[in-house]
A and B are shown apart, each in its own frame.
Chain A
Amino acid sequence: MTAAPTTTVATGVKHPKAIRYLDIGGLILTVLTVFCAVIWAFPLYWAAITTFKPEHEIILPYVELWPENFTLSAYYHVIFNTKIGIWYVNSVVTAVSVTVLVVVMGAACGYAISQLQFSGRRILWWTILASFMVPIQALIINHFILMAQVSLLNSWLGIILPQLIAPIVVIVYKQFFDSLPRDFREAAVIDGANHFQLLFKVFLPMNWGVTTALAVITFIGAWNAFLWPFLAAQSENMMTIAVGITQVSDAFGIYYGRELAGAMMAGLPVAVLYLLFQRRVTQAITLAAGIKG
């Protein structure tokens, strides 16, 4: 043990990898890390495994880490006895619409602020930056009144519209377009391209990664949105899945298996999306927070 530090330092200079093999403290830390990760993920595992147990196994007076009798009855119940199918459709429609609209409007606006000269450009930019100070949650009353005035409450459009305020998308696009070399634009302008062709044929394709990142994170945000869809959807038929699974628990009684089966189905699409686009999600979050990853 006493000799260990000198050997790590000596070998560490030339072969950094060797440190980890000889380092007892490091090994303990790694084991601790894995242990913490298992603890952290355990609630999700426990909830997931509960959905595959028959009801009598769920309420066993001891911890059963794997179901003795594997069953899908909780899922059957949720699929056939609740409106989860309709909620899925509502969630897909609203989240996809929010994503497409937010990204397209954000890209267009970010492009204009970054590349074009027009009066009011600076005021627009500062207004967008300042909008971070207004908590969207404080606007629920006025959004509700506004949507009532145009008779859009309890409709897809009513759920979508107030979710379209995403100044961060404009800001990220503007900063990305700013960093592109001006030659591209000038070359395309000489070729006779107009600004719409420039945006959609040159600027957006060159920033496909950013667009993917922003789209994925916007979709996840819209899929997960709770407060506004909860207020705007007044009938069970208009609820998104994130709202629906919390509103019908009374009908389930105390059947945790069924409640959690609904929860798993609500979380699955975003979990899969995250696992597929892990790097893009990371990129979007660090970009939005203003850190270079």
Chain B
Amino acid sequence: MNRRSETTAALLLIAPFVAVYCWLFIYPTLQMVYLSFTNAPLIGPGEWTGLRNFERLFGDRTFKIAVWNTFYFVVLTVVPGTLVGLGIALMVNRLRGWMQSMILAAFFLPFILPVSVVYLVWNWMFDIQFGIAQYVIEPIVGEPVAVFRQKAWFMPAVALVTIWWTNGFNILLFLAGLRNISPEIYEAAELEGAGRWAVFRKITWPLIWPVTVLVLTIQLILQLKIFDQVYLFSLGGRTQTTMVLVQYIFQQAFVNNRGGYGATVALALFVIIIAFSVMQFQALRLRGER
């Protein structure tokens, strides 16, 4: 095979992916930036309005609420979810054989379910009249609570459901990390007579730290893009107060028919994610240089 046939083959092989990638990824990304400078409706042409959308964005109360709620959600899920994941991984890692598979499956199963199934399951769990979770809530609060109808309860409840749903992912990464720690280190510690807590603090925690950073950053980026659960649980509620960023894009473009302004919100999300991605990249590089 000569050089030219190699190039031809390469172009043919990359063509489908590159075509899809340009048409459905690069072009929409550029178009999103363009759209954010116009007053276009969802479908149809708009006029160039310069920076007006951005001026409006900074004075937009609902946008501020959406940013605030998104970060609130990140705070409620990222660190707690990572710690719960590590805890469960440590517990599962001690077990062996079929016992480990069964227990791991119990913790992991929610992760592979569609969000709508998770929504229906927990909507039933928290139902104000017949929900089984009210047996826990009522003794503590004194009365049953419509958790998805009250602002103070909404985000923590959705965060709880999200951790329950997505933790399988964290658990798997932590388990892979734990298995990469050489057993000889633990044997040596055992010979020294080190206790469980000392072993965790002096060996497991420092050695699992790179995985912890990885999980934290993946979760951070992921939870900034939250939409599905918040949207579903807020159905029929007052969505303005529980609004998150992607939901605001959806609302502006698809409910209020403001494609241009929706794109401006999307661009803001894009910028936030890039800022955090750069941080993630730095963290990963640090991990590589360790």
Contacts and interface: CB of A to CB of B under 8 A. Distances in A.
Interface string B165-178: 00001001100110
Interface string A239-271: 001110110010000001001101110110011
Interface in B42-78: 42-43
A62 to B, nearest CB: 9
B124 A50 contact: yes
Given A36-B88, A242-B114, A112 B28 contact: no
B14 A263 contact: no
A133 B277 contact: yes
Contact of B173 (A134, A161, A245, A291): A291
Interface of A: 5, 9, 12-13, 25-26, 29-30, 32-34, 36-38, 40-41, 43-44, 46-47, 50, 58-59, 63, 101, 104-106, 108-109, 111-113, 116-119, 121, 124, 127-128, 131-135, 137-146, 148, 161-162, 164-165, 167, 170, 189, 194-196, 199, 220, 223-224, 226-227, 231, 241-243, 245-246, 249, 256, 259-260, 262-264, 266-267, 270-271, 273-275, 278, 281-282, 285-286, 289-293
Contacts of B107: 37, 40-41
B129 interface: yes
Nearest to B169: A285
A27 B29 CA distance: 54
A293 to B, nearest CB: 4
23 contacts: A41-B109, A117-B7, A128-B21, A132-B277, A134-B25, A134-B270, A146-B24, A146-B31, A148-B43, A162-B24, A165-B24, A167-B21, A224-B112, A246-B116, A246-B119, A246-B235, A256-B124, A256-B127, A266-B116, A267-B117, A270-B114, A271-B112, A292-B176
Interface residues of B, number: 98
Given A29-B94, A40-B107, A139-B32, A113 B14 contact: yes
Contacts of B31: 142, 145-146
B267 interface: yes
Binding site of A, secondary structure by majority: helix, strand, loop or mixed?
Answer: helix
> Which of B102, B116, B122, B190 is packed against the most chain A CB atoms within 10 Å?
B116
